[in-house]
Amino acid sequence: MFFKYKIHIIGIFVLLALVSGFFLPQTKVTFDFDQFFPEGDDDLEYFKSFIEEFEADDNFLLIAVENKEGVFEQDFLNRFHEYSLAIRDVPHIIKVQSLTQMRNPVKTPFGISTIPIIHKEEPSKYIQDKKNLLNDDRFRLSLINADATALVIAAKTTEKIGLEDSDVMLNALYAETDKYGFDDVHYLGRAYFQDELVEMKIWEMLIIGLISVILVTIILILIYRKFIGVMIAVGSIGLGLLLFLGLLAGLGRELSVMAALYPVLMLIVGTSDVIHIMTKYTDLLKEGKDKLSAMTTTVKEIGIATLLTSLTTAVGFATLLTSNVGPIREFGINAASGVMIAYVTVIFFTTSLLLFFDREQIVKETKSDGRLSNWLGRCYSQVRVNPKKILMICALVMGLCFIGISMITTNYDISSTLPRNSNISNDFKYFEKEFAGFRPLEFTVQSMGDYQVDSYEVVSEISKLENHLKSTGVINAIMSQATMYKSINKMNNSNRAEAFVLTDNRKEFASQKKMVRKSRMLDQAVLINKERTKTRISSRIADIGADSIRILNESIDQWITTNLDHAVVSVRSTGTGLIIDKNAVYIRNNLLQGLALALIIVSILMGFLFKSFRMVIVALIPNIIPLLFAAGLIGWLGIDLEAGISIIFAIVFGIAVDDTIHFLSKYKLERVKGRSVEESLEVCYTETGKAIMITTVILFFGFMVLLLSNSQPTNIVGLLISVTLVSALVFDLYLLPILIRYLMPKDT
């Protein structure tokens, strides 16, 4: 074997650690909503063309400035106006819009003129200004809240603003904001989201990683009770993590918001490999074997099984490559790579290092070892005496799982995926409550035949659709050509609220069209494309959940088909919100495809190892049930399935199958030695059972550390994986031996 080169091997790993340490500071973390778009989707391709013709619907930063006594106060309005002017000079802000800067067109005997929307220097007009604004759909819930206690500055940012530019912009903006002493300020937008989320994820990754290291170290201390044994285990696990992160940094791989799981995954996967190797090695030393022969046997028996478990775990993660969502695919390939790095580190570095120490230096014999063996012995007796009762309990559990699966929904909302009690979460909820929220909902309207995009017929159809959107009760801040013409009609009729309608007088409409064009109320780059063949309807929809929004969109599409004149216009919905929400459908499909692929690949791998079709079936059944258990938990707990949570199935399958493979590998070895079925099973319990019990405990607490995260999806992932892996252990200890007895031939 390679053990005669143990010093060289250790030296190579030390060198690799130094190289990884050099690259580690270059690690980059990124977050971009575009990453979560389902690639290859027709609606996504249409949205890309929409952006080319108009502009993106998420290149904005909304700044809500509160004045608790009401915004119609001269001192506040002056400060707000100065602030809105000052932030025009903030880097990466292209354009700023606020009510104190805007003016309304008015018709005078001398032609069209404009007047301020808010007469900030004339307090006597505040009451009328307030009434006008709160009755104007262009501004209410978009630039002023319904209670008139907050005004919004809508800042247009550079398109697809990156993390570094976001950081520069926000730091300059915060510094400017601090100068004005407002009661409260809230932010909402792409740049704000990605800046805050990335900063939190970096901190979270460090904290969770540190706590995981401490937790694993404590467990290893309880197991080995020797400084050298603990240091070998911790050093091996830490080295694997360092090499993994160094590799990602060296390859220039940017870490997404899911990267907080990497330290935990690497720690627990590495710990599992280390414990299986060290447990077998120390057991052989206890039997009286010398170090070299003990390690040779360990690598031959446990090393092969550990290789297969690492491959199956990697396959579980690699199935995420079937996802249409970029960050999930990246997580899958990175995690799969990490699993194999952990294996290579343990099988070469750890085994080489262990050869320098005696058993007494690695592990201390304790009474707990005997208690664990006794408990496993009783477990084996129960399985032998009560197989039918155990099978009935398993059937009952599966029935409950199927009921839970039938209750799974994908009606997740954005607010539930944001970090709890964080600035972005609080600000998001504030805008949802006080304004029209964050989720964009866009419609493109194409004029048909000889109709001009701003002709009366086209605007009339837009007005119908706009009125229908308002009637839903969850769509607000609607902006379109029809909105402009309704506003002008209202101004021409003494600003009466009931006059906010599209005129049915074509002569009046022609006059209003001239007013729109001369006053430049219509931003051509925003509402009408250059060819003047398409116009857009922009709006925001409440965060009512992905499934609810999908149903509403289907209802709107049906209404459009039934009620609009398709000889005049062609209408299609689009927007970032619609694209992201389509992930719900893709998640379900990819989940089933990925798991089916994982089952096939793992079956092939186990077929090569065991060379028995029946043993493959025996191995798969106890690992399919935990998947059903996880899915059932999601349904029973009322958890909405979304992109981040969907990865638990790949993790559970990849890790849970490890214990089964170790158990069956030991069973096969004992049968080859000539032991009977029952003798072989008893040895599996007393030897392999101890290792899988310890690793499951570590896995449980390792994933439970994710409950410390501020992110609800991360909490759910940690809880579900922890509980499900315990269920996988239970099925391995109670169901697997029964399947071996019933399904495996006695002479296998």
Mean pLDDT, range 235-242, rounded to an integer: 89
Q: Considering the domain boundaries, does residue 215 fall inside one?
A: no
Asked if residue 151 is part of any domain, the answer here is yes
Residue 12 shares a structural domain with residue 92? no
Residue 583 pLDDT level (bands cut at 50, 70, 90): low
Does residue 338 share a domain with residue 189?
A: no
Domain shared by 569 and 588, yes or no: no
Please say which residue of 528, 556, 581 terminates a domain.
Answer: 581
The band of 522, judged by pLDDT with boundaries at 50, 70 and 90, is: very low
CATH code where residue 656 lies = 1.20.1640.10
Is 627 found in the same domain as 557?
A: no
Residue 748 pLDDT: 47
Same-domain pairing of 515 and 530: yes
Q: Report how many domains make up the chain.
A: 3
- Shared domain for 531 and 638, answered yes or no, is no
Check residue 271 and give left, alpha or beta (phi > 0: left; psi -120 to 50: alpha): alpha
Residue 727 has pLDDT above 80, yes or no: yes
User: Which helix (H) or strand (E) covers residue 715, if one does?
Assistant: helix 712-734
Query: Does residue 209 lie in a domain region?
Result: no
Same domain, 338 and 390: no
Same domain, 566 and 602: no
Q: Is residue 721 part of a domain?
A: yes
Antiparallel, parallel or unpaired: β 150-157 and 93-97: antiparallel
The pLDDT value recorded for residue 585 is 64
Same domain, 161 and 266: no
Of residues 87 and 113, the one with the higher pLDDT is 87
Q: Dihedrals φ, ψ of 564, to 5°?
A: -95, 155
The stretch 46-71 carries a mean pLDDT of 84
% residues pLDDT > 70 (the chain) = 91
What is the pLDDT at residue 445?
Answer: 93
Q: What residues have CB less than 8 Å from 81, skipping those under 6 apart?
A: 98, 100, 101, 120
In a domain, 334, yes or no: yes
Share of the chain above pLDDT 90, in %: 22
Same domain, residue pair 126 and 107: yes
Say what the pLDDT of residue 365 is: 66
Looking at 551, 581, 611, which one is the last position of a domain?
581
Domain closes at, from 581, 600, 632: 581
Q: Is the pLDDT of residue 111 over 70?
A: no
The CA distance from 656 to 692, in Å, is 10
- 368 has a pLDDT exceeding 60: no
Amino acid (1-letter code) at residue 558:
Q
Residue 18 domain flag:
yes
| Average pLDDT, rounded, for the chain | 83
3-state secondary structure of 13: helix
pLDDT by residue (tens digit) across 178-194? 999 899 999 988 888 87
Task: State whether 526 and 597 are in the same domain.
Answer: no
Stronger pLDDT, 515 or 394, i.e. the higher one: 394
The confidence score (pLDDT) of residue 10 equals: 92
In a domain, 48, yes or no: no
Which residues, in sequence order, are CB contacts of 446 under 8 Å at separation 6+?
533, 534, 569, 570, 571
Q: What are the pLDDT digits (tens) for 421-474?
A: 788 889 989 999 999 888 888 899 999 988 988 899 999 999 999 999 999 988
Residues 554 and 669 in one domain: no
Number of neighbours of residue 14 by Cβ within 10 angstroms: 12
* Range list of β-strands (E), 26-159: 60-66, 93-97, 103-108, 111-116, 150-157
Residue 243's domain spans which residues? Answer: 1-30+225-365
Mean pLDDT throughout 696-707?
A: 82
Domain assignment present for residue 345? The answer is yes
Report DSSP letters for 621-671, one per residue: HHHHHHHHHHHHHHHHTTPBP-HHHHTHHHHHHHHHHHHHHHHHHHHHHHH
Task: Of 42-46, 47-51, 90-94, 582-586, give the range with the top mean pLDDT.
Answer: 90-94
For residues 23-30, average pLDDT: 77
